[in-house]
């Protein structure tokens, strides 16, 4: 099987999507960050010295989604039509779950953009809270679902 990011001489290349038809594409990714109870409580009560951690993480997730092609070498620059980030408080961890939904009408998918958004959002929580808890763990960054494109739809199943 030939990998799509290698040419016939095994040299790296960006996939040519010139002839692909545009379609509406959506990707949803998620991940979690676990931390000490003290860090969790300070973030939820907005008592951290660096400001509103969760609001900043949402902005960072959106920015990360938009900058994916600057950081992942073979990703196409995309004209995203929507990026949404949701944060769920998980007091029993304690920690947070971030979910990013990226949308566009285009010739290539947005899975990497959604995954990048989650990663950057979670890293922002870590950065803004590391003075309180350096032992935080970013976990389970994954694609939840995608729709559109030649490969069709995908939804993660519990297995």
CATH classification at residue 64 = 3.30.70.640
For 129, the 3-state DSSP assignment is helix
Inside any domain, residue 142: yes
Which of the residues 7, 19, 70, 127 is marked catalytic? 127
Amino acid 1: pLDDT: 53
Inside any domain, residue 45: yes
Inside any domain, residue 57: yes
CA distances to 14, 32, 134, 151, 158 from 75, rounded to whole Å, are 7, 24, 32, 17, 29
Give me the number of domains the chain comprises.
1
Inside any domain, residue 9: no
Mean predicted confidence (pLDDT) in 119-139 = 97
Span 80-108, pLDDT tens digits: 999 999 999 999 999 999 999 999 999 88
Inside any domain, residue 139: yes
Inside any domain, residue 3: no
**71 pLDDT higher than 70:** yes
Is 70 a residue of the active site?
Answer: no
**2 pLDDT higher than 60:** no
Which residue range forms the structural domain that includes residue 85? 23-148
Mean predicted confidence (pLDDT) in 13-30 = 84
Q: What's the mean pLDDT when you consider all of the chain?
A: 92
């Amino acid at each position: 099987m030939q990998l799509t990011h290698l040419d016939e001489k095994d040299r790296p290349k960006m996939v040519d999507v010139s002839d692909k038809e545009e379609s509406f594409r959506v990707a949803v990714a998620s991940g979690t960050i676990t931390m000490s109870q003290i860090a969790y409580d300070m973030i939820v009560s907005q008592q951290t010295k660096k400001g509103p951690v969760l609001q900043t993480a949402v902005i960072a997730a959106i920015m990360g989604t938009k900058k994916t092609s600057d950081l992942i070498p073979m990703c196409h620059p995309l004209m995203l039509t929507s990026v949404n980030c949701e944060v769920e408080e998980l007091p029993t961890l304690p920690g947070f779950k971030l979910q990013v939904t990226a949308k566009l009408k285009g010739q290539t998918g947005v899975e990497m953009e959604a995954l990048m958004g989650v990663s950057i959002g979670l890293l922002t929580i870590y950065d803004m809270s590391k003075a309180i808890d350096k032992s935080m763990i970013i976990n389970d960054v994954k694609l939840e679902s995608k729709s559109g494109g030649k490969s069709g739809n995908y939804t993660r199943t519990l297995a």
